[in-house]
Structure 1
Amino acid sequence: MENECSDKVLIVEGVTDKRKVTQILNEKLEIICTNGTISITRLDELVDELTDKDVYILVDADESGEKLRKKLLREMPNASHLYIDRVYRQVADAPLHHLADVLSAGKIEVKRG
């Protein structure tokens, strides 16, 4: 479901998050993993690469996820922020139905049923 030419980009923290989300996507979009942190250089590159794209940010509901979210918010103020319920803490641990609800609320097409 990943497509370099897509107008939508989803930023997640890790490969396990990417795998989990990919299971329920029903549209093509690029998924970028930050591996939990991101250097200033890589962040600057991303800002340049993603200028004309719809950017969605889905990170863990923990301290490191919130730090990353704040950093991305500063550099990409027009990005859409998607939030999992704090009870799950990590995107990879959230049930598929919950992720589907979160993504579809952000106007990302997901598989249902």
Structure 2
Amino acid sequence: MTEIEKVIIVEGRSDKQKIANILNEPVEIICTNGTISDARLEELIDELYYKDVYILVDADEAGEKLRKQFRREFPEAEHIYIDRAYREVAAAPNWHIAQVLLRANFDVHMNYLLKR
């Protein structure tokens, strides 16, 4: 069994579900449930040290706060952004999430790239 190399950190379970459906490759998706303690962040940094880590959080105040925390504590992580107009990952259309993931070099199910 090969170890999963890519990790996406999201805020909520609905974000995780949405992204899991769109991805067409094995990716570990971790939920912070909106916030993350410094202790949990330290654990994550240790666990994810040798992996490619991506941060995909909401385009709102809570998401920005989380993003800042990751930038400070885990500067190696790559940040993926959704259009601010959608505010929440879970509220963004599937085609938009698929495009954002594709731009970050993730393999996505092509049918999600179609605007419906």
Fold in common (TM above 0.5): yes
Does structure 2 retain, via aligned residues, the 8 Å contact 1:4–1:29? no
Q: Which residue is 2:62 aligned to?
A: 64
Which of 26, 29, 36 is the equivalent residue of 2:27? 29
Runs of 4+ residues deviating >2 angstroms: none
Which of 52, 55, 65 is the equivalent residue of 1:54? 52
- 1:4/1:72 Cα in 2 relative to 1: closer, same or farther (>3 Å)? farther
| Higher CA-based Rg | 2
Distance 2:107 2:55 in 1: 15
Give the secondary structure class of the aligned counterpart of 2:9: strand
Comparing both structures, which one devotes a greater share of its residues to helix? 2
- 1:12/1:60 Cα in 2 relative to 1: closer, same or farther (>3 Å)? same
Give the secondary structure class of the aligned counterpart of 2:86: coil
Distance 1:42 1:5 in 2: 22
Q: Which residue is 2:105 aligned to?
A: 107
Structure 1, unaligned stretches of length 5 or more? none
- What's the CA shift string for 1:56-76, capped at 9, x where partnerless? 000000000000000011111
Superposition deviation, residue 4 in structure 1 = 9.2
**Aligned partner letter, 1:69:** R
Superposition deviation, residue 5 in structure 1 = 2.7
Sequence identity percentage: 61
- 1:58/1:87 Cα in 2 relative to 1: closer, same or farther (>3 Å)? same
Q: Which residue is 2:72 aligned to?
A: 74
- 1:19/1:78 Cα in 2 relative to 1: closer, same or farther (>3 Å)? same
Q: Which residue is 1:10 aligned to?
A: 8
Structure 2, unaligned stretches of length 5 or more? 112-116
Q: Which residue is 1:43 aligned to?
A: 41
Give the secondary structure class of the aligned counterpart of 1:65: helix
Superposition deviation, residue 23 in structure 1 = 1.1
Query: What is the root-mean-square deviation in Å for CA atoms of aligned residues?
Result: 1.4
Superposition deviation, residue 106 in structure 1 = 0.6
